[in-house]
Amino acid sequence: MRPSLLDPLFAEAATLPGVGPKVEKLIARVTDVGEGPPLIRDLLFHLPASAIVRQRIASLSELPETGHVIIEGVVERHEAPRRHSRAPFRVILGDGMETVELVFFNARAGWIEKLLPLGARRVVAGRLDRFDYRAQIPHPDFVGPPEEAGDILAVEPVYPLTEGLAPRTLAKAIRAALAKLPELAEWITPALLNREKWPSFDKALNLLHLPQDGEALGPESPAWRRLAFDELLASQLALLLVRASARKSAGKARRFSGARAERMLSRLGFSLTGSQEQAIAAIRADLRAPERMLRLLQGDVGSGKTLVALAAMADITEGGGQAALMAPTEVLARQHFATIAPLAEAAGLKVALFTGREAGERGEKRAALAEGSIDIAIGTHALFQETVTFKDLALVVVDEQHRFGVHQRMLLAAKGAAPDLLVMTATPIPRTLVLTYFGDMAVSELREKPAGRQPIETRVASAERLGEVVERVRLAVEKGEKVYWVCPLVAESEASDAAAAEARHKELAEIFGASALLLHGRMKPAEKDAAMSAFRAAKGAVLVATTVIEVGVDVPDASIIVIEHAERFGLAQLHQLRGRVGRGSKASSCLLLYKPPLGETARERLKVMRETNDGFAIAEADLKLRGEGDLLGTRQSGMPGFAIARPEFHGELLELARAEAKLILAHRERGESAHEEAVRALLYLFKRDAAVRLMRAG
């Protein structure tokens, strides 16, 4: 059980004053917590990258040229704009010596008259600027009577925001969260703590969220580094514990000839690539060895991982065991089922699909799985619900792993007697990150592309040329091509300027009629299926989709992908999306549309996309380019599953965390676990608590 000391941090953010349902939703988006409501802990781990430092000015005659200031004065004059004029509303504030203009565009006169009545004394904070030599503060951050001056922070942290979430609202919620922070026992060993001169955990959070000066902020500050280290330490501890328990539950030497898999593969009509052959051989050796297999299969999109997994599953069933394949989304699970079932069934195997949806028929399938008449189960996380049992689960394959946590991987693995584990990732992960996510798993890489693949030509264009793009798509569709059209967000979202998939679909449907299809995450599962199969069918032409298609969707004859707002996507995501085309024998193209002006990082990303198709090269470039500033509310910055640690800043802390984790576990084994409770709290804090169970068992 979680130490009760941590309870306040695991209360929902919505329990804080000022956090209603709407704000809660926005907080969920900025903190990117995934499932469940955002917690106070999540707010605390949302760190400010910089701060506004305000100068208190005693007399307006001492104003600096520009900069953030706090001033006080009397409202001397209102200058309302003429009706229908686009000019701003100006309020002249003076202190007998000098005056400053407060400038408001699109403001209602009534609101200003209430906020800044003539003759009233007001304290104002904002960014001072000069315009025609006049001192101006456009849209002040704060306006209030002198007795509220204390509410203005001299140093105000600046948080990554999402559209619709006011900075002040977020800052207030975080300050309230900070007040809930208990004092925790130290989990870092004293030697390391002293050497690095890091503040304690709670001190670090206080330093970052309530900065005293603007200097000591950002990912390279000691406070942030300490927290990044904590997070890496928790993940390394979890990985080591998982690894240790996996070793303890010794595997089985599987027996099979490989003939079944060979027969299946020989029906494909193409031969495997050299790297596919190598991966299959390595997996066979693992399966036959008495130790448990823990192997990571990395391969760029379209490199043919599914077939490698199928071979492994066929081998396992030949020995009498069952195999499970877990995919991160329902669309993908269905697609795996559609690919694998015919091949496996032709070889006499029984394959069943388990998603959240088949509630009705699930009883029957579950029984079949439990008695062993189903050989291969394919599904989503529905596979590891407690009610699902296997007769003899011998192999677990997890596709697109980085979306699942170690936790989920373990739940599924717990269903068999130490089943062999094959994890597949489509985003090639640089070596340093392999260690972060997977610990010391054995790695197979599919570096070769299947023969006959046509290169994908990538072009970058401004969204202002949308008309030309639509025309190009129309010509292509006339020639029988299939097109993915990707929009970043769904219409219901607050992001008003996002090219909403629904709106775009409606427009394109006017040109393409019923052959324009729509796919997004909020559609009902049956509607999604219908859209996918209509797109696959001969009549399907344009599939307008959100990023739900990012993960593994395979329609080999789709040859064009248009990505709107490409500047909003991370490199890994763009590469994944682009990988939806170029899967068949047709020459393919990818069109990246951006909304100008382009920021420097976004420009660089699009350049990388234009120049290379090699997922491994892209992964390396990604690591270099990722910085804060491109956090637009979705998983675009940092590492998935990590709130604080950033590969580009904290890479070297990883080795340190790994060493520290080993040290902590070694202490435990010798029974010298003086700070066991502290370590346990650390694992809970960073949601690596599945590993705590292993600690107890161990």
Binding site for Mg ion (CB under 5 A): 552
Q: Shortest Cβ distance from residue 310 to ligand ADP (Å)?
A: 9
Residue count of the chain, please give it: 698
Cβ proximity to ligand ADP: between 19 and 545 the closer is 545
Q: How many CB atoms sit inside 10 A of residue 134's CB? A: 13
- Rounded to whole angstroms, the Cα distance separating 560 from 479 reads 12
Q: Shortest Cβ distance from residue 438 to Mg ion (Å)?
A: 18
Cβ proximity to Mg ion: between 211 and 552 the closer is 552
Cβ proximity to ligand ADP: between 203 and 453 the closer is 453
Q: Shortest Cβ distance from residue 545 to ligand ADP (Å)?
A: 17
Could you say which of ligand ADP, Mg ion, none residue 299 binds, taking C-beta under 5 to 8 angstroms by partner kind? ligand ADP
* C-beta of residue 463 within 8 angstroms of C-beta of residue 593: yes
Q: Shortest Cβ distance from residue 552 to Mg ion (Å)?
A: 4
Could you say which of Mg ion, ligand ADP, none residue 583 binds, taking C-beta under 5 to 8 angstroms by partner kind? ligand ADP
- Rounded to whole angstroms, the Cα distance separating 288 from 217 reads 52
C-alpha closest to that of 326 among 376, 362, 287? 376
Q: Contact positions toward ligand ADP, by CB under 6 A?
A: 270, 272-273, 276, 299, 301-307, 426, 450-451, 552, 554, 556, 583
Q: Shortest Cβ distance from residue 335 to ligand ADP (Å)?
A: 8
Could you say which of ligand ADP, Mg ion, none residue 303 binds, taking C-beta under 5 to 8 angstroms by partner kind? ligand ADP
Could you say which of Mg ion, ligand ADP, none residue 556 binds, taking C-beta under 5 to 8 angstroms by partner kind? ligand ADP
Q: Shortest Cβ distance from residue 399 to ligand ADP (Å)?
A: 7
CA distances 13 to 57, 171, 199, 227, Å, are 36, 13, 25, 20
* C-beta of residue 324 within 8 angstroms of C-beta of residue 388: no
Cβ proximity to ligand ADP: between 617 and 656 the closer is 617
Cβ proximity to Mg ion: between 552 and 641 the closer is 552
SS3 249: coil
Q: Shortest Cβ distance from residue 335 to Mg ion (Å)?
A: 8
Q: Shortest Cβ distance from residue 302 to ligand ADP (Å)?
A: 5
Q: Shortest Cβ distance from residue 519 to ligand ADP (Å)?
A: 18
Cβ proximity to ligand ADP: between 44 and 456 the closer is 456
- Rounded to whole angstroms, the Cα distance separating 520 from 526 reads 12
Spatial CB neighbours of 139, under 8 Å, sequence gap ≥ 6: 103, 104, 105, 126
Cβ proximity to ligand ADP: between 125 and 261 the closer is 261
Cβ proximity to ligand ADP: between 272 and 606 the closer is 272
Q: Looking at beta carbons, which residue is closest to ligand ADP?
A: 304
Cβ proximity to ligand ADP: between 269 and 360 the closer is 269
- On the question of a cis peptide bond just before residue 597, with omega within 30 degrees of 0, the verdict is yes
Q: Shortest Cβ distance from residue 631 to Mg ion (Å)?
A: 28
Q: Is 450 exposed, middle or buried (0-12, 13-18, 19+ CB in 10 A)?
A: middle
- Rounded to whole angstroms, the Cα distance separating 168 from 141 reads 9
Could you say which of ligand ADP, Mg ion, none residue 307 binds, taking C-beta under 5 to 8 angstroms by partner kind? ligand ADP
Farthest CA pair distance, the chain: 95
Residue 453, phi then psi, degrees to nearest 5: -70, 135
Cβ proximity to Mg ion: between 71 and 279 the closer is 279
Q: Shortest Cβ distance from residue 304 to ligand ADP (Å)?
A: 3
For 173, left (φ over 0), alpha (ψ -120 to 50), or beta? alpha
Cβ proximity to ligand ADP: between 580 and 688 the closer is 580
Could you say which of Mg ion, ligand ADP, none residue 270 binds, taking C-beta under 5 to 8 angstroms by partner kind? ligand ADP
Could you say which of Mg ion, ligand ADP, none residue 273 binds, taking C-beta under 5 to 8 angstroms by partner kind? ligand ADP
- Rounded to whole angstroms, the Cα distance separating 496 from 465 reads 20
C-alpha closest to that of 661 among 352, 59, 353, 239? 239
- 591 strand-pairing partners: 459, 562
Cβ proximity to ligand ADP: between 340 and 393 the closer is 340
Cβ proximity to Mg ion: between 410 and 551 the closer is 551
Cβ proximity to ligand ADP: between 307 and 518 the closer is 307
Q: Shortest Cβ distance from residue 445 to ligand ADP (Å)?
A: 11
Spatial CB neighbours of 192, under 8 Å, sequence gap ≥ 6: 656, 660
Q: Shortest Cβ distance from residue 435 to Mg ion (Å)?
A: 23
Could you say which of ligand ADP, Mg ion, none residue 304 binds, taking C-beta under 5 to 8 angstroms by partner kind? ligand ADP
Could you say which of Mg ion, ligand ADP, none residue 633 binds, taking C-beta under 5 to 8 angstroms by partner kind? none
C-alpha closest to that of 142 among 180, 181, 118, 172? 172
Which stretch of DSSP H or E encloses residue 115? helix 109-115
Q: Shortest Cβ distance from residue 434 to ligand ADP (Å)?
A: 17
Could you say which of Mg ion, ligand ADP, none residue 679 binds, taking C-beta under 5 to 8 angstroms by partner kind? none
Could you say which of ligand ADP, Mg ion, none residue 27 binds, taking C-beta under 5 to 8 angstroms by partner kind? none
* C-beta of residue 308 within 8 angstroms of C-beta of residue 283: yes
* C-beta of residue 385 within 8 angstroms of C-beta of residue 411: no
Could you say which of ligand ADP, Mg ion, none residue 81 binds, taking C-beta under 5 to 8 angstroms by partner kind? none
Could you say which of Mg ion, ligand ADP, none residue 621 binds, taking C-beta under 5 to 8 angstroms by partner kind? none
* C-beta of residue 636 within 8 angstroms of C-beta of residue 630: yes
Tokens 């977020």 sit on residue: 170
Cβ proximity to ligand ADP: between 338 and 442 the closer is 338
Cβ proximity to Mg ion: between 405 and 579 the closer is 579
Spatial CB neighbours of 15, under 8 Å, sequence gap ≥ 6: 40
**Over the range 72-96, which residues count as b (16 or more CB within 10 Å of their CB) and which as e?**
bbebeeeeebeeeeeebbbbbbebe
Strands (E), 261-319: 294-299
Residue 693, phi then psi, degrees to nearest 5: -60, -40
Q: Shortest Cβ distance from residue 604 to Mg ion (Å)?
A: 28
Three-state SS string over 637-661 comes to: CCCCCCCCCCHHHHHHHHHHHHHHH
Tokens 């010509």 sit on residue: 475
Spatial CB neighbours of 620, under 8 Å, sequence gap ≥ 6: 430
Q: Shortest Cβ distance from residue 553 to Mg ion (Å)?
A: 9
- Rounded to whole angstroms, the Cα distance separating 339 from 347 reads 14
